[in-house]
Amino acid sequence: MQFFEGSEKKIEVVLQPGQPSLRQLEQPFWHQIVAKANATILSSVHNEHCDAYLLSESSLFVWDDRFLMLTCGTTTLVDAVVSFLDRFPKQQLAMLSYQRKNEYQSHLQKSSFEQDLQALNQHLDGCCYQLGYLDGHHNYVYHLDRPFEPPQDDATVELLMYHINGDAAAYLRSNNQSLEGIRQRLNWSQLLPAFDVDDFLFEPFGYSMNAINGDRYATMHITPQENSSYVSFETNLPQQEAQQVLGHLLGTLQPDSYDLISFNQEQFLDHQPGVVCIDQAQQDLSCGYRMRFQHFVKPASACRSATRL
């Protein structure tokens, strides 16, 4: 059975005012940060506000005063964070948050979330939360325990989809897929019309996409394997624009279940008939964000056979 761990780890860091621009750092610095996570840079797009790097395992976005990095598979993102903190210690940080969701096969990971915390606590004074039931889908967040006032438009939403179905899912697992075919099915030209899009099709399958427009970003990663399919989409688009994209992705990929995670943005999606929310949590973080977590499930339409291992 072919398997790849699509579940991501995520770091976001904001520097204190007066620090040098992160975009002015030499390129070897970011290559070294990415290498510490056991990933590589595949390609990039740039505009006047942001540098977006597509990685062998997810994405890196760099603005003047902040950066955001996501990695999947068995990457060691916490090692990349520690390496960054060697250059920018906690006194130079305004905000830091580290997220990690539960994995399908956590025993294959190089570290647990608890071990990640031990590494971070050697450099930072932070606190952490678990949102979601331990025996179901859940998300961990660790953040620098320091007051921070994010800008009013600093809001993000994440849609994490499991067990995708339908024509688009079948195409993503097919031998005749192409980048253009995936773009048409996901409808980027209509959903993100003014964005510069950078995407990559992996062998034998798997898809990653970064898109930027000014200081706005979107990123998507698809692991379409039939028995463990996983899709993540994240953006800082305004609420109504984000809602349109999320609704299209749900309708196109038809997941059996999905998580909706947001920071300072409440989303009301047009769920398919029968879909129910079986878990939700909300937490106000001392770093200035309200984190919301919801897990949705649609009823099973048929009895499946067991998977032979």
* DSSP label of 298: P
Q: Where are the alpha helices (DSSP H) in 63-129?
A: 77-87, 113-121
Angle of the 77-87 helix axis to the 27-36 helix axis, nearest 10: 140
Set 5, 12, 158, 234: catalytic member: 5
Catalytic site includes residue 208: yes
Judge whether 5 counts as a catalytic residue.
Answer: yes
CA 229 to mean position of chain CA atoms: 15
Q: Please pick, among 7, 56, 97, 208, the residue that the annotation labels catalytic.
A: 208
| Catalytically annotated residue among 7, 8, 143, 232 | 8
**Parallel, antiparallel or unpaired: strands 41-46 and 156-162:** unpaired
Q: What does residue 200 show for φ and ψ, rounded to 5 degrees?
A: -150, 140
Name which of 251, 274, 248 is nearest 167 in CA terms.
Answer: 251
DSSP class of 272: P
Q: Is 58 a catalytic residue?
A: yes
Point out the catalytic residue in the list 138, 143, 221, 295.
221
Active-site hit among 12, 50, 56, 58: 58
> Is the distance from CB of 60 to CB of 74 less than 8 angstroms?
no
The dihedral sign for the CA sequence 73, 161, 199, 181: positive
Q: Is 56 tagged catalytic?
A: no
Question: Which residues, in sequence order, are CB contacts of 107 under 8 Å at separation 6+?
Answer: none
Catalytic residue among 7, 50, 59, 72: 72
Distance CA 34, CA 76 (A): 10
Q: Are 131 and 290 in contact (CB under 8 A)?
A: no
Could you list the active site residues? 5, 8, 58, 72, 208, 221
